[in-house]
Amino acid sequence: MLDFIVKRFFQGILVVFLVLTAVFFLMRLSGDPTTLFLPQDASREQIEAFQHQMGLDRPLYVQYGEFMGNAVQGDFGESLRTQQDALQSVLDRLPATFQLAAAALILALVIAIPLGVLSAYYRNSIFDRVAVGLTVIGQAIPTFWMGLLLIFLFAAQLKILPSGGAGTPIHMILPMLTLAFYSTARFTRFTRSAMLDVLQQDFIRTAKASGTPTFPLIMKYALKNSLIPIITLVALDLGELLGGAVITEIVFSWPGVGRLIEQALMTRDFPVVLAGVFIIALIYTVINFLADVIYAYVNPQIRVK
Amino acid sequence: MASSIPNEPLIPEDDSLAFSQKTKAAEFFTSLLHSWTGLLGVAIIFILLFLSIFGHWIAPYDPVKTELTAKLLPPLTDGHLLGTDHLGRDLLSRIILGARISVIIGLSTVLIAGLIGTVIGIISGFFRGWIDIVLMRLVDVQLSFPFILLVLIINAVLGAGLKNIIISLAIGGWVIFARVIRSEVLALREKDFIQAAVATGVSRFEILIKHIVPNLFTPMIILASLQISSFIIAEASVSFLGFGVQPPTPAWGNMLSEGKDFIFSAWWLITFPGLAIIITALGINLFGDWLRDTLDPKIKGK
Amino acid sequence: MAESILEIKDLKIQFQNGKHIVQPIREVSFQIKAGQTVGIVGESGSGKSVTSLAVMGLLPDRISSIPSGEILFDGKELTKLKEKEWRKIRGNEISMIFQEPMTSLNPVFTIGQQLSEPLKRHRQLSNKEQKAAIIKVLKQVGIPRPEQIIHEYPHQLSGGMRQRVMISMALLCEPKLMIADEPTTALDVTIQAQILSLLKKITSKKDRSLMLITHDLGVVAEMCDWVVVMYAGVIVESAEVNELFDRPLHPYTRGLIQSLPSNNERKSKLYAIQGQVPKPEQVKQGCIFANRCPLAMEKCFQESPPAFQEDGHLSKCWLQSSDEGVVR
């Protein structure tokens, strides 16, 4: 198992390294970054001074080496807007994003797993059909529109919840529901199909032949087997959740990384964008690494070797 | 797959009775008639295509003509079936014309992303070796990043506009195709008929063209149909955030972006364009699901 | 002779998928006496596995039904049982050994955890007693170092070892009847012999009855006291094992015996029964075997033969009609 984890760990590091490289070239490929980094009305002297200051007059590989050297030390430059350290301003926003995403993830799992399990067990029943129908519709609703709908209902009409901002737990309710909605639909679908796969395995029949009643059969035997594919799929889907978090943060003015990146994009504050991209890729890679560890733990074929 | 009865098929397949007399196309069509979700999907897609082609003649008003005296009219007033927006433009007309934007974006993105992804997937899966390793690391890197954020950033770098949003979506979306097609190619390589062809001395290139590529059409079509709706939703999200397709061009996303400022006073401005997106995505998904279940139940979206 | 532990009377089973109805079991009657090993023989599609699942109450619910017939186990009618009552029987009074030891054990639980399941359901034992019972039964089936094995996962064991575990699971609650469905088919030849001799050793003890489902007449000759030959959902012949091999009456049985490769002579050509088992819905009238039967007469295509019986040796074939002892 240790081999497996070490291997995954180095793969993760490689991915983060490649992400940084990709981002570097993305910024350079889009033309002279000066026009990206400086305000559009910058004077000729400002531009030259900036180019020299940033080392843009040197060969590309030197620039790349320097960029990577700085990035490894966590130096992505200063925000062009606030003059604060770019990485630090991203890190300051991280707890808010983490709070929102974690709350939504937990909510989605708490609803989706029982729903998917029941749906699979009572396959083709009315209950199953309704659940499947909801997941299909749920996956067609864009996250931002769900946010608008909830704002309209709870803030504009009922006037019981704030339409945006942060500070109190009440502020989190709508963003959390918005973000959880899409994931709930997808996770329900994952759980249902994983359970359906497991329920027709031979070992379920063996358990039945031992006289195991329905409830323990599902909860103990089938669910533990289903968890392996569910964990994999949920981990793979966390990219979608993070993407949804970005949209949700913007809709609700939630002070997280996603909203910071959006504002930075609007004001062409590229050091902050780079730092944000780095952090999100890092988070995603770490989460996937953790998912691999959990996966290895749940699956004895990897754990016991 | 393990059935509940070891040796014998539960319901013996009946190859003698049902479909054997009919052609494949007829069988395909019959199975569509038997699935109301598939039919609904096809109906929605037809309406969407119809609107995107004939929208200009159907729309009751000029979608970009502003009339400030008639701004923010609620639905069913003064001949405006769905009301008007903050500049007095007819909402129904704008939604009808918005269909074209969604169709153009959905189709062209899936075409470009599908083509790039498929070629890369075939190269990766067929030739294996270092090129496979390099390409798949690239896929991993891109997948370690939320699709929508990637599209947003690329679009911000490239600048707004219809062409750039298509390019951004395609750059963000090819990886799924590459990954699925690669695994299809890998599975095909192991199939007996490919092995048999290799054994009889057919050249690698011939195997690729004659045996592998034709077998990729089904997964490609299924995947494409399932991806279109996610491209359309992504475009709407990006346009909603103020990037992507810019006003006054009527796209559902930027209509919602403008409408959100009036969420407390004009509910119709966020309701109807949103429903248009949902119905479109739902229709395409239903069709895609049906297509997958009919053509190949083994392939799962992503 | 001892009383029968299992008696199946005129059992019919049907599957329904929408409007599509098939009848994999058309009419099956036989009995297993206490202590006996009865072999159910037939090609795939003959309905032998479906019969065994019916005895376990494990027919797929919703699509399957038993329109008529009785399954009497220890004097109790099983076909009308509720799920809750079934659970008291399964793994306790009747247990089953499945064909695929590779997939029949749950990959995410240890051997010990899985073996404790029937005990937990049917016996009130402390953890310590449970463990002792499990180790005892693992020793019985010849598993070395059982104290260690109970902490291991299925993927750490070989196929033969897994089948031994399956057998020990079936033995745990000392059932009155065990059903083994092709217990050796998925195993290597050398392992097959080991598992068969293990089963033989187990069934030789006191009142253990075994219903052995197989397509292999060699296995039957070695293991069984009584043989039931099934074909397309019907019993075509049933007899004591030596009687059956010495004096097979039904052309189908004769075909099966002839197609056995024999040890002491090299036949120039292996005998094979032509054709395939018909699908249940394909036979409308006459004898189900008629279309493949080398001795078929005109009558065979028109009328279904009744069960002719002589000293307990049953055969469903018109060839017997000239003999005496016609039952029914």
Domain ranges of chain A: 86-304
Contact B263, B270 (CB under 8 A): yes
Q: List the beta strands (DSSP E) in chain C.
A: 4-17, 20-33, 37-41, 64-73, 76-77, 94-97, 177-181, 209-214, 226-231, 234-240, 308-310, 313-315
Can you list the alpha helix ranges (DSSP code H) found in A139-222? Answer: 143-150, 169-199, 202-209, 214-216
User: Chain A to chain C, count of Cβ pairs less than 8 Å apart?
Assistant: 77
Mean pLDDT of chain A: 84
Q: Give residue B277's pLDDT.
A: 95
Which band of pLDDT confidence, cut at 50, 70 and 90, is reported for residue C79? Answer: confident
- In whole angstroms, give the CA distance from residue A134 to residue C182: 44
Tokens read off for B178: 């590459």
Considering only the C-alpha atoms of chain B, give the largest distance between any 2 of them, rounded to a whole number of Å. 78
* First-residue to last-residue Cα distance in chain C: 24
Identify the pLDDT of residue C2. Answer: 56
The answer to whether the Cβ–Cβ distance between A19 and B148 falls below 8 Å is: no
Say yes or no for a CB contact (<8 Å) between C118 and A228.
no
Radius of gyration over alpha carbons of chain C, in Å? 21
* DSSP conformation class of C260: S
Query: Is the residue at B42 inside a domain?
Result: no
Mean pLDDT, consecutive 10-residue stretches, chain B (302 aa), reads 34 38 68 83 93 88 80 80 83 91 94 94 89 87 84 84 92 91 88 81 83 87 89 93 85 90 87 94 91 67 36
Q: What is the pLDDT of residue C4?
A: 86
Are the beta carbons of B149 and A15 separated by less than 8 Å? no
CB contact under 8 A, C49 and B8: yes
CA-nearest of A242, A241, A145 to B280 is: A145
Residue C213 pLDDT: 92
Most confident of A166-180, B54-68, B107-121, C2-16: B107-121
In this structure, whether the domain defined by C4-93+173-262+269-320 belongs to CATH 3.40.50.300 is answered with yes
Residue B260 to residue B248: CA distance in whole angstroms: 16
Which residues of B touch chain C, with CB atoms under 8 Å apart? 2, 4-8, 10-12, 14
Q: Helix-strand-coil percent breakdown of chain B, rounded to 5?
A: 70, 0, 30
| pLDDT recorded at residue C262 | 63
Task: Please report, to the nearest 10 degrees, the dihedral formed by the alpha carbons of residues B2, B3, B7, B11 taken in order.
Answer: -150
**C-alpha dist (Å) from residue C222 to A194, C39, C196, C212, C259:** 43, 10, 9, 12, 17
d(CA C62, CA A122): 11
- C-beta atoms of C91 and A209 within 8 A: yes
| C window 201-260, beta carbon within 8 A of B | none
- Region A20-42: mean pLDDT is 68
Q: Which of A183-192, B75-84, C81-90 has the lowest mean pLDDT?
A: B75-84
Q: What is the CATH number of domain A86-304?
A: 1.10.3720.10
- The pLDDT of residue B161 is 86
- Kindly identify which residue of chain B lies nearest to residue C214, measuring between CA atoms: B7
| pLDDT tens digits along C130-146 | 999 999 999 988 888 99
Tell whether C45 lies on the interface with B, counting CB pairs under 8 A: yes
pLDDT band at A39 (very low <50, low <70, confident <90, very high): low
Q: Would you call C30 helix, strand, or coil by DSSP?
A: strand
Domain definitions of chain C by residue range: 4-93+173-262+269-320
HSE at residue A135, side-chain half, CA atoms within 13 A, is 24
Q: Show the tokens assigned to A251.
A: 């809709």
Pairing assessment for the beta strands C209-214 and C177-181 based on DSSP bridges: parallel
Task: With CB atoms and an 8 Å threshold, state whether C45 touches B8.
Answer: yes
- Which position has the higher pLDDT, C172 or B8? C172
Tokens read off for A279: 């952090």
pLDDT at B7: 36
Angle at A208 between CA C227 and CA B13, to 5 degrees: 65
Which residues on B lie below 8 Å from C15 (Cβ)?
10-11
Distance from CA of C1 to the nearest CA of A (A): 30
Listed residue (C215, C227, C232) closest to C286, CA to CA: C232
Chain B partners (3+ C-beta pairs within 8 A): A, C
Interface confidence (ipTM) of the complex: 0.83
Give the Å distances, CA to CA, from C235 to B104, B115, C318.
66, 60, 14
Q: Determine the pLDDT at residue A76.
A: 82
In this predicted structure, which of B78-82, B163-167, C25-29, C318-322 has the lowest mean pLDDT?
C318-322
pLDDT at A157 over 90: no
Domain of residue B204, residue span: 48-300
Residue A54's pLDDT is: 67
Asked if the Cβ–Cβ distance from A213 to C87 is below 8 Å, we say: yes
Q: What's this model's pTM, rounded to 2 decimal places? A: 0.80
- Chain A, 205 to 244: residues with Cβ < 8 Å from chain B are 205, 239-240, 242-244
Number of domains in chain B: 1
Asked if A139 reaches chain C (Cβ–Cβ under 8 Å), the answer is: no
- Residue pointed to by tokens 């003509």: B65
Nearest CB to B146: which of A139, A205, A242?
A242
Token pair for A270: 């590229």
Mean per-residue pLDDT for C279-299? Answer: 79
Strands (E), B123-250: none
Chain C environment of B19 (Cβ under 8 Å):
none
User: Is the pLDDT score of C46 beyond 80?
Assistant: yes
Q: How far apart are CA A161 and CA C256, in angstroms?
A: 79
Could you tell me the pLDDT band of residue C278, with boundaries at 50, 70 and 90?
A: confident
Say yes or no for a CB contact (<8 Å) between C166 and A206: yes
What pLDDT sits at residue B217? 87
Under the banding of pLDDT at 50, 70 and 90, the label for residue C318 is confident
When pLDDT is averaged across residues C169-182 and rounded to a whole number, the result is 90
H or E stretch covering A14: helix A2-29
Assess C153–A contact: CB distance below 8 Å, yes or no. Answer: yes
pLDDT at B300: 43
Rounded CA-CA distance C176/C90 in Å is 11
The pLDDT of residue A31: 57
The pair of structure tokens assigned to C91 is 């793994």
